[in-house]
Every structure is written in structure tokens, then in C-alpha cells.
């Protein structure tokens, strides 16, 4: 078993370069299954979710060539099976994108029930509603999802909830469908725009990504032949921004799109942090105890649920009582029990949590309950006095590349130990 051992408190200072977005990468890789050709993806984060994604593509017959740490070439000309390995697909959430892509390209697919972070119920009814509207027959019995279509024909789909996954998945299934598909009440996250840009670069005809209505004119074939670079990770950038505030540090965060960070910037300013926006980099610093704030997580462009635990660390140290309302996931406050072990005073009730700010956190052994909870605990350990041990690192490694090296490079006293 591995753990991270962090000795704090340390104000994080220096520069950090943001990697490509995990949640774009894990959609763009399955999207390569739509291409009857070869393409190269650059700026891929080197994380375990991306590695599993590549293994799934290979199991389906795609050939993958690694061009270094952050670039791969995918040759999807020969898809050899429509049964994706159940053990791999049930390991992570984004395996559901294989359904949309393979339905469109091959007319059938079988995958395991998608796994991923345990954040409460994670239904996929909107994905299925979209596939069925295009003419697919979907079965979800016995932990396996199988979908089949003799022909996919464009349709208009109104999403009952704003869903990142369903928006991307229906977009994938519509790319090679006959006619026009309209996704209404679509999600608008930067990674949705990125997936659409990738597909358009490869020959698709998708318009309106980034708005709540996306129109996909089906094309006969995607031929590839191009190179695409994944968008910088909004959530990774936000994680370091909030780390600067929680540790009273000063970070220049490079290779980000600051437009994607506006909801985070606004809250950082509200709690007393300073922000300098340079367009493709952002400086965040804070030399005072954070002030209290109220946060409600919302789909983009609202405050992202994937930064809620990291913001929770800031608010647990704030002067006064703060509240967070989580409107996306049922169960994203599990990290508050861990922060309370470090001296925080947080009461979580259902989808709300109340943070009675404390002056200091103290090191303790803590368990990462999901990916972003893990990031929050690293920030907390860096801000806290004494030694923090963070366990369950497999969650963190799913989504943050070289996390301890990058925290070390900005001053954290952090090491990974195998027991
Ligand atoms: C994506 O999950 C991200 N994962 C999550 O990031 C992120 O928290 C989430 O979007 C919200 O931004 C990936 O991109 C791989 P949703 P996804 O469909 O697509 C409900 C992280 O830490 N819903 O937008 O699974 C659902 O229950 C991870 O990087 C339905 O009711 O989320 C939730 O309440 C964790 N029916 C809401 O919609 C559906 O068919 C939003 O979920 C689909 C979703």
C-alpha cells in the first residue's frame, strides 16, 4: 500500500504547468473509435484513467503508439470486436463513451457497467434516452450494457438533466448517423467543446458546442489524418489556485485558459485572495486568513463540483461560518469526515455542509474517498501543522499526473511511501 506523507504548514510558491484535461482526454480517446484512419492526440495527461482507456481501445482492435509521455497515435482502421472487456470498462466512468462511439461506427457494442468515483447515484438514463432516440436498442441487464442499431437516424433530444456524459455520448453516437441530431439542454463544459473540436478536426460537422443546443449533421466517415491537442485541465488549474489560497501561498499557474476559471477566480477574490489574469496563465496569492463564503456547485459556467472539496479546505480555514450546497452529486461530502480528523469543524447534512472556520488544521492519517477528495486532502496536509498521511492514492492517480512531484516543485514537503 502507498501513502503520501506531508509535513506542513508550507505556503506553496512558484510556478506550475497545467496538463491536458482528464475529462476531455477520456472522451477524446473513445472518440477515436469513430475514425476510419489514424490520428495523433497530444497534451494527454499521463494518468491511470487515460492508460485504462488506451487498453480498452487496444482490446477493441485499435493500434496505439506512444510518442512520449503526453502523446499517442491511434489507428482505428481495424476494429476487431464489439465486446469491450468487462473488467476494464467497469473500472472507470468514462468507459460509457465507448458505447456512443462504437454504436455509431460498428452498430453494436457491449461494455461493463461503468465504475468511477462513488459520489452517490450515477444513472445513465439520459445517455440511453439519446441512443434510443437515434434508433438503438439498449439493454442494461446483469451488469452489462449492450446496444445495437441497424441504422442510426438523427433526432431531437431534450436532456432532462444537464449531463456532461450524456451530452458527449449522444454527440458521439450522432456523428455518423443519418441526418441531423439536435441535443437540447446540453451541458456546456470546456471538455464538451474540446470533444466537438476534435471530432470536427477529423471531419465531423458539429455546431453549437459550448451552448445549450448542439446540432450534429451526420457525415459518412471520419478519416483522421490530423493531430489534436487536448484542452488544458480547468479542474487541475482550479486545484492549484485553491491550494495557493489555502496555504497562503503565491502560484503562477501556466498553460490554462483563464476564461474557464472565472467562477473560481470570483470566489477566490470573495474570500480575500488576489488574482492576476494573463489569459493563458494566472497568478493567485493570498496573505491573509480567507473570509467566509457561500458556494453552490452548478454545471459550467457555475462553480464546478469537481473543485468543491478543494474549496472546502479553504472554507474550513476561513474566518466565520461558510456553507456549500452541492447540487450535482448526492454524496460528495465524504471528505469532510477526513478534514474533521484534522481539526476542521464541518457539519454535512445531505447536499449541504456548514464550515465553522478554524485557525489551523493539524496533520492526521486521512483517506482519500474519491479523486477530488484526495486533492483536497493533499492541500489540507500542506496547509496543516504537523504530519498528514494520505491513503487510497489510487483515486488521486486516476486524475492527477505526478501529483507529489508537482507539489514538491512548489515547496511542499511531500513524499510517497510504499508500505
Ligand atoms: C462528469 O461526470 C465528470 N466525469 C465528473 O468528474 C463531474 O463531476 C461531472 O461530469 C459533473 O461535472 C467525467 O467527465 C468522466 P453528469 P458525469 O452526467 O458525466 C445526473 C471528476 O472528479 N445524471 O454531468 O458522469 C447525475 O446523477 C469526476 O473528475 C442523470 O440523472 O456527470 C448528476 O446528478 C467525478 N442521468 C448530474 O446528472 C444521466 O443519464 C450530472 O452528471 C446522467 C447524469
Fold of 22-229: UDP-n-acetylglucosamine1-carboxyvinyl-transferase; Chain (3.65.10)
Question: Of 353, 403, 402, whose CA–CA distance to 375 is shortest?
Answer: 403
Tell the CATH superfamily of the 2-19+232-418 domain: Enolpyruvate transferase domain (3.65.10.10)
Q: How many whole angstroms from 375 Cα to the centroid of ligand 1?
A: 18
In angstroms, the CA 105 to CA 32 distance is: 10
Query: How far, in Å, CA of 181 to CA of 196, rounded?
Result: 14
In which element (H, E) is residue 251 found?
strand 250-254
Query: Measured in angstroms, how far is the CA atom of residue 351 from the centroid of ligand 1?
Result: 16
C-alpha cell read off for 213: 443546443
Query: Closest ligand 1 atom to the C-alpha of 371?
Result: 22
> Distances in Å between the alpha carbon of 407 and those of 11, 33, 258, 389, 403?
11, 35, 21, 15, 6
Rounded (5°) CA angle 409-414-419: 140
Mutate which of 122, 191, 239, 335 to test ligand 1's pocket (most atoms within 8 Å of Cβ)? 122
pLDDT score of 142: 80
Instruction: List the chain pLDDT tens, one digit each, 419 residues.
Output: 899 999 999 999 999 999 999 999 999 999 999 999 999 999 999 999 999 999 999 999 999 999 999 999 999 999 999 999 988 888 788 889 999 999 999 999 999 887 766 777 788 999 999 999 999 999 998 889 999 999 999 999 999 999 999 999 999 999 999 999 999 999 999 999 999 999 999 999 999 999 999 999 999 999 888 999 999 999 999 999 999 999 999 999 999 999 999 999 999 999 999 999 999 999 999 999 999 999 999 999 999 999 999 999 999 999 999 999 999 999 899 999 999 999 999 999 999 999 999 999 999 999 999 999 999 999 999 999 999 999 999 999 999 999 999 999 999 999 999 98
113 CA distance to ligand 1 centroid (A)? 15
CA distance 405 to 184: 42
- Every domain of the chain with CATH number 3.65.10.10 lies at 2-19+232-418, 22-229
d(CA 175, CA 6) in angstroms, rounded, equals 47
Single pTM value for the model:
0.97
The residue whose CB lies within 8 Å of the most ligand 1 atoms, and thus the one to mutate among 24, 164, 326, is 164
Sign of CA dihedral 334, 336, 339, 343: negative
Beta bridge mates, 281: 254
Instruction: Write the residue with the smallest CA distance to atom 8 of ligand 1.
Output: 306
Q: Which of 39, 53, 117, 256 is catalytic?
A: 117
Tell me if 192 sits within 8 A of 164, measured CB to CB. Answer: yes
User: From CA 197, how far away is CA 406, in angstroms rounded?
Assistant: 29
> How does pLDDT run across 163-183, given as a tens digit for each residue?
999 999 999 999 999 999 999
Asked about 256 being catalytic, the answer comes back as: no
Q: Are 138 and 149 in contact (CB under 8 A)?
A: no
Amino acid at each position: 500500500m502507498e501513502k503520501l506523507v506531508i509535513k506542513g504548514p508550507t505556503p506553496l510558491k512558484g510556478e506550475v504547468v497545467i496538463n491536458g484535461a482528464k475529462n476531455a482526454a477520456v472522451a477524446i480517446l473513445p472518440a477515436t473509435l469513430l475514425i476510419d484512419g489514424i490520428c495523433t492526440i497530444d497534451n494527454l495527461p499521463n494518468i491511470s484513467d487515460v492508460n485504462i482507456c488506451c487498453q480498452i481501445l487496444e482490446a477493441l482492435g485499435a493500434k496505439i503508439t506512444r510518442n512520449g509521455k503526453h502523446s499517442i497515435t491511434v489507428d482505428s482502421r481495424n476494429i476487431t470486436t464489439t465486446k469491450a472487456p468487462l473488467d476494464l470498462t467497469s473500472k472507470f466512468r468514462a468507459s460509457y463513451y465507448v458505447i456512443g462511439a462504437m454504436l455509431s461506427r460498428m452498430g453494436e457494442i457491449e461494455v461493463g457497467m461503468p465504475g468511477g468515483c462513488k459520489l452517490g447515484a450515477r444513472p445513465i438514463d439520459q445517455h440511453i434516452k439519446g441512443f434510443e432516440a437515434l434508433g438503438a436498442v439498449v439493454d442494461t441487464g446483469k451488469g452489462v450494457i449492450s446496444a445495437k442499431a441497424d441504422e442510426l437516424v438523427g433526432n431531437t433530444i431534450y436532456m432532462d438533466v444537464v449531463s456532461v456524459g450524456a451530452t458527449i455520448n449522444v454527440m458521439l453516437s450522432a456523428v455518423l448517423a443519418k441526418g441531423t441530431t439536435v441535443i437540447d439542454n446540453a451541458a456546456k463544459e470546456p471538455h464538451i467543446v474540446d470533444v466537438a473540436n476534435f471530432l470536427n478536426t477529423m471531419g465531423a460537422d458539429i455546431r453549437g458546442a459550448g451552448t445549450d443546443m448542439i446540432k450534429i449533421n451526420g457525415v459518412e466517415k471520419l478519416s483522421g489524418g490530423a493531430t489534436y491537442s487536448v484542452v488544458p485541465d480547468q479542474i487541475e488549474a482550479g486545484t492549484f489556485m485553491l491550494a495557493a489560497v489555502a496555504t497562503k501561498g503565491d502560484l503562477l499557474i501556466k498553460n490554462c485558459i483563464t476564461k474557464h476559471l472565472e467562477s473560481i477566480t470570483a470566489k477566490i477574490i470573495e474570500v480575500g485572495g488576489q488574482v492576476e489574469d494573463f489569459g493563458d496563465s494566472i497568478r493567485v496569492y493570498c496573505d491573509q486568513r480567507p473570509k467566509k463564503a457561500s458556494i453552490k456547485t452548478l454545471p459550467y459556467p457555475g462553480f464546478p463540483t469537481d473543485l468543491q472539496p478543494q474549496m472546502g479546505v479553504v472554507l474550513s480555514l476561513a474566518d466565520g461560518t461558510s456553507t456549500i450546497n452541492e447540487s450535482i452529486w448526492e454524496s460528495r461530502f465524504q471528505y469532510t469526515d477526513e478534514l474533521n480528523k484534522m481539526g476542521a469543524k464541518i457539519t454535512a447534512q445531505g447536499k449541504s455542509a456548514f464550515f465553522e472556520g478554524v485557525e489551523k488544521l493539524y496533520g492526521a492519517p486521512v483517506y482519500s474517498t474519491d479523486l477530488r477528495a484526495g486533492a483536497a486532502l493533499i492541500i489540507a496536509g500542506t496547509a496543516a501543522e504537523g504530519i498528514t498521511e494520505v491513503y487510497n492514492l489510487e483515486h488521486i492517480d486516476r486524475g492527477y499526473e505526478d501529483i507529489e512531484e508537482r507539489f514538491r516543485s512548489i515547496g511542499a514537503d511531500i513524499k510517497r511511501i510504499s508500505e
